[in-house]
Structure 1
Amino acid sequence: MVRVSRNRKTGPIPVTTTSANSCPPTCGFKGNGCYAQSGPLAIHWKCVSEGRRGYSFDELLLEISTLRRHALWRHNQAGDLTPEAPGVIDGRKLTRLAMANRGRRGFTYTHYLPTPANRIAIRQANRLGFTVNLSAESLRQADEYLDHGVAPVVVVLPPSAVKATRTPAGRHVIVCPASTGNADCLNCGICQQRDRTSIVGFPAHGSGAKRVEAIFFKEVRP
């Protein structure tokens, strides 16, 4: 955990990074445009993934529990939730993390598919006050994820996206204010709001943005 991030998009909030082996095999961006696999973050992520930086899970929980009350913090600027098996979230560990977060405003995003088992784990974390956003790869998938009624949803957008849009089902999609330079996570906090109705859209960025965009448009074609 870095207690004061220097990332201009998050602002000076605590952020964590989890090893690359936490990412589910079903993530369409894994090795195919993931922003964390390029730039300065990639160097840090590699060190964490190789065990040269970071904590044990129990040490991480202690760090979280010592954050100031009501602190906004982001889990996993790179990496995902701890798996029990490939594609399956470790529900016990996620619940423990959510309990350590009590009284604080932690949030994260996950590319794990909302299978029945994963939905149970994610729903429990959100009920305990730790916000887990389901990450969709297209507007159509964002609708599918919201239909589960489990968690708030975010979605990737083309790199040029700057204006709000709507999903095929008519749901409102706002563009992340940090992506447009209008705010940062510290001064926005919408991704931590578990009961929001809007989907938050993130324009693809980084050296793999074109590959991410290709996935988005592949999904929207009939």
Structure 2
Amino acid sequence: MAVTTTSANTCPPNCGLRRNGCYAESGPLAIHWRAVSEGLRGSTFDELLQEISTLRRRALWRHNQAGDLTPSSPGVIDAGLLVRLARANRGRRGFTYTHYSPTPANGAAIQQANQLGFTVNLSAQTLAQADSHASLGIAPVVVVLPQGTIRPVRTPAGRQVVVCPASLGNTDCLNCGICQQRDRAAIVGFPAHGAGAQRVQAIFFKGRPS
């Protein structure tokens, strides 16, 4: 499955996982991400759009295994670039995740991308935040879960959270595709993993009612 990596300066400044457990900041991916961020690897945005246009029809692909949507200013998604990305994706099944806060401006950009067929998942760090994101009705939602979670859970508002099938070893991303399903009702949960898993798990439990 085709994937992209975007420079670290695209990550929103208020992301709770930034330098605090983000899986892309350690391991082999971190080496590649650092090279992209330093301009030693990669291409321009226009070249990216051209590459997307060469993917076969209905191809499933993931944008940003590391990095986030391109900002126009700190904390603000560049809506124009996101629309161009969504239009380049037409006829294909691209998806991504974002830690940008769904402010009115960001939320409108994210909703428009989803309406154009490019799936942008809102990423939550706690079950309460997942409820908050889901209540907006603008995009599908994903959330981190404690290490080793294998069974579905419920948010405080009763929404179902299904554990990522690939993390359970039942399939892989290419043969699953649940994160690309824009109209799904379920929230997808990703058990904390990688070198920073303990820190990610700590963030999750801080947002959990005692």
When normalised by structure 1's length, the TM-score is 0.94
For residue 21 of structure 2, give the secondary structure of its aligned residue in structure 1.
coil
Unaligned runs of 5+ in 2: none
Q: CA–CA distance in 2 between the matches of 1:210 and 1:57?
A: 35
Aligned residue identity for 2:157: A
Alignment correspondent of 1:64: 52
State which of 166, 179, 182 in structure 1 corresponds to 2:167: 179
Alignment correspondent of 1:216: 204
State which of 1, 5, 10 in structure 2 corresponds to 1:22: 10
How many residue pairs get aligned? The number is 210
Alignment correspondent of 1:194: 182
State which of 115, 128, 132 in structure 2 corresponds to 1:127: 115
Q: CA–CA distance in 1 between the matches of 2:19 and 2:117?
A: 32
Unaligned runs of 5+ in 1: 1-12
1:50 maps onto 2:26 in alignment? no
1:136 maps onto 2:134 in alignment? no
- Within 5 Å, give how 1:139-154 maps onto structure 2: 139-154=127-142
State which of 8, 31, 35 in structure 1 corresponds to 2:19: 31
Alignment correspondent of 1:98: 86
Aligned residue identity for 1:100: A
Alignment correspondent of 1:116: 104
Q: CA–CA distance in 1 between the matches of 2:129 and 2:8?
A: 24
Q: Which runs of 4+ in 1 moved over 2 A?
A: none
Alignment correspondent of 1:7: none
Structure 1 residue 221 displacement after superposition? 3.3
1:205 maps onto 2:196 in alignment? no
1:75 maps onto 2:59 in alignment? no
For residue 108 of structure 2, give the secondary structure of its aligned residue in structure 1.
helix
Structure 1 residue 177 displacement after superposition? 0.7
| Sequence identity percentage | 73
Deviations 1:91-112 (A, max 9, x none): 0000000000000000000000
For residue 124 of structure 1, give the secondary structure of its aligned residue in structure 2.
helix
For residue 52 of structure 1, give the secondary structure of its aligned residue in structure 2.
coil
Structure 1 residue 215 displacement after superposition? 0.4
Q: CA–CA distance in 1 between the matches of 2:149 and 2:114?
A: 29
Structure 1 residue 160 displacement after superposition? 1.7
CA RMSD of aligned residues (A): 0.6
